[in-house]
Amino acid sequence: MLLSYTFAAVAALAAKASATIFYAGVAESSGEFGAWSPTATQGTGLPGVFGRDYAFIDKAAVDVFVNTNKINLFRVAFLLERMCPLSTGLGATFDETHFRHFAEAVDYITKTKGAYCILDPHNYMRYNNPSQQPMTGSVIGNSSDPTAATTAQFGAFWGELAKRFKDNEKVIFGIMNEPHDMETNLVLANNQAAVDGIRASGAKQMILAPGNSWSGGHSFTQSWAGYSPSSADALVKLKDPLSNTAIDIHEYLDTDYSGSHTVCAQPGPENLADVTAWLKANKLKAMITEFGASNSTQCQPYLEGILKYMADNEEYIGWTAWAAGPFWGPNSACCTDSQQWGSLEPGSKTASGGPGMYESVWMKTIQKFVPKKLVWKGVSSVEGGMLSVKRA
Ligand SMILES: *[C@@H]1O[C@H](CO)[C@@H](O)[C@H](O)[C@H]1NC(C)=O
Ligand SMILES: *[C@@H]1O[C@H](CO)[C@@H](O)[C@H](O)[C@H]1NC(C)=O
């Protein structure tokens, strides 16, 4: 009796220390659509018409993901230039019509469906010209550029957004999608302004902080000319008084880590080993909020490899695959060399009407890595939370 009691205690301890995915789901991409200009004309598609130029979610698709696929996490993209119009600039003044549409999507995911939601300003740490994202727009905080929004304005923006969601425990603040081609110390300064603004608003939920270089996990600990210090050496200095900030990582599996190619060539486990060691050494957690692969047989072990790696390593607490979203149609969000093989949106079809990547990638490969038990209650946290099976 005593022996088995001890065994049970040891087993409980081991279970607590073991790796757990608390949050699993999908990126919802379409809120950032409709601003492209072939001539990079500033202002194209702004503010844009909701439901025609862009949209955040399709509620029926979210229903399928929660009810059938049992996921508890969505990452919803939006454009800073729509939330904070160029006329008033980046900061605490919002376009209230745009905000209402965004809040309706967030509320549907979190309140109606009970899932968690990452707020994703899809802006590459740039503001004022999304017409040829990811390359156009002034880098936020670039003091040599008189047209650039300042780091303080970015902090004010986050303070306002967090204030509006501070009573919604299911929200997660994703500071920025994929900063790139800028000083890593400026990524840190902007991240710190965001964290400070969010905490000053009284919001206690989890924050996701990106590194430089497109949030790449494989290069997180590396530095080179024009990219120094490394994201690791910079972000180790980020301070959150509530210690509820995780690192936001993107990791694609094709040759150049771009997520644009059909063929997989970069193994997640090997490429993430250094950032995982850094996370462990600094007692930090991470989420991989973008990853993906084509439906090819060749890619399947790579996709399984990164999903298993996250499940096996306690530094990883969650993930969102790239991407679903109401406006993809037959186009593919990643990994097909621009072929129209559909997206992760439920019901998605290829250009020729065959099953899209929801069937050929999500159902075939990703679904089995969605844990039976996830977190359905409580403030979003790097510590995770109570695990349970989602009730219908
Ligand atoms: C900052 O602004 C200056 C002046 O416009 C520009 O030359 C430089 O490339 C900008 N830096 C970044 C990282 O974009
Ligand atoms: C992936 O999807 C495309 C488009 O439907 C199809 O042509 C191809 O055969 C699929 N690949 C596999 C391995 O199923």
Instruction: State the DSSP string of 286-340.
Output: EEEEE----S-TTTHHHHHHHHHHHHH-TTEEEEEEEEE-TT-TT--SSSSTT--
Tell me, yes or no, whether 9 lies in a domain.
Answer: no
Write the burial class of residue 178 (CB in 10 Å: 0-12 exposed, 13-18 middle, 19+ buried): buried
CATH of residue 200's domain is: 3.20.20.80
The strand pair at 207-210 and 245-250 is best described as parallel
Indicate whether 376 belongs to any domain. Answer: yes
**Is 11 inside a domain boundary?**
no
Do residues 194 and 154 lie in contact, with contact meaning Cβ atoms separated by under 8 Å?
A: yes
| Structural domains of the chain, count | 1
What are the residues facing 77 on neighbouring strands? 120
Q: Is 297 exposed, middle or buried (0-12, 13-18, 19+ CB in 10 A)?
A: exposed
Residue 251 catalytic? no
The rounded distance, in Å, linking the Cα atoms of 179 and 182 is 7
Interval between CA 356 and ligand 2 midpoint (Å): 9
Instruction: Say if 5 falls within a structural domain.
Output: no
Of these residues, 178, 183, 315, 359, which one is catalytic? Answer: 178
Q: Judge whether 10 lies within some domain.
A: no
Average pLDDT over residues 309-321: 98
Task: Supply the DSSP symbol for 349.
Answer: B
Q: Are the C-beta atoms of 122 and 164 separated by less than 8 Å?
A: no
358 Cβ below 6 A of ligand 2: no
pTM of the model: 0.95
Asked if the structure places residue 375 within a domain, the reply is: yes
Q: What is d(CA 50, CA 103) in angstroms, rounded to the nearest whole number?
A: 13
Residue with CA closest to ligand 2 atom 13 = 296
Range of 82's domain? Answer: 19-388
Mutational pocket test of ligand 1: of 129, 135, 142, 186, the residue with most ligand atoms within 8 Å of the beta carbon: 142
Residue nearest to atom 11 of ligand 1 (CA): 142
**What is the model's pLDDT at position 226?**
79
Spatial CA neighbour of 380 closest among 287, 249, 277 = 287
Ligand 2 centroid distance, CA of 346 (Å): 17
Report the C-alpha gap between 213 and 240 in whole angstroms: 22
Report the nearest atom of ligand 1 relative to the CA of 146: 5
Q: Which residues have a Cβ under 8 Å from the Cβ of 135 and sit 6 or more positions away? A: none
What is residue 352's three-state secondary structure?
coil
Whether pLDDT at 190 is above 50: yes
328, pLDDT greater than 60:
yes
**DSSP three-state, residue 119:** strand
Choosing from 183, 290, 315, 345, which is the catalytic residue? 290
- The CB of 144 under 6 Å from ligand 1? The reply is yes
Q: 89: closest CA among 145, 153, 135?
A: 153
Q: How far is CA 223 from the centre of its chain?
A: 23
Task: With H, G, I as helix, E, B as strand and everything else as coil, classify residue 130.
Answer: helix
58, amino acid identity: D
Q: Whose CA is nearest to atom 12 of ligand 2?
A: 296
C-alpha of 232 from chain center: 19
pLDDT tens digits along 266-293: 999 999 999 999 999 999 999 999 999 9
Q: Does the Cβ of 353 fall within 6 Å of ligand 2?
A: no
- The number of the ligand 1 atom at minimal distance from the alpha carbon of 182 is 13
Q: What share of the chain is helix, strand, coil (3-state, %, to 5)?
A: 35, 15, 50
Ligand showing the shortest atom-to-Cα distance for residue 138: 1
Q: Which atom of ligand 2 is nearest to the CA of 355?
A: 5
pLDDT digits (tens, 9 = 90+) for 333-382: 999 999 999 999 999 999 999 999 999 999 999 999 999 999 999 999 99
pLDDT-based confidence at 392, cuts 50/70/90?
Answer: low
**What is the number of the ligand 1 atom nearest to the C-alpha of 138?**
14
Lowest mean pLDDT among 149-153, 227-231, 356-360, 378-382: 227-231
**Within a domain: 88:** yes
Other beta carbons within 10 angstroms of residue 69's beta carbon come to 18
Q: How many Å from the N-terminal Cα to the C-terminal Cα in the chain?
A: 39
Question: 257 C-alpha vs ligand 2 centroid, how far in Å?
Answer: 21
* Nearest CA owner, ligand 1 atom 5: 145
With respect to residue 334, please indicate whether it lies within any of the assigned structural domains: yes
Ligand in closest contact with the CA of 295: 2
- With 0-12 / 13-18 / 19 or more C-beta atoms within 10 angstroms meaning exposed / middle / buried, residue 43 is middle
User: Looking at the predicted structure, is the pLDDT value of residue 17 above 90?
Assistant: no
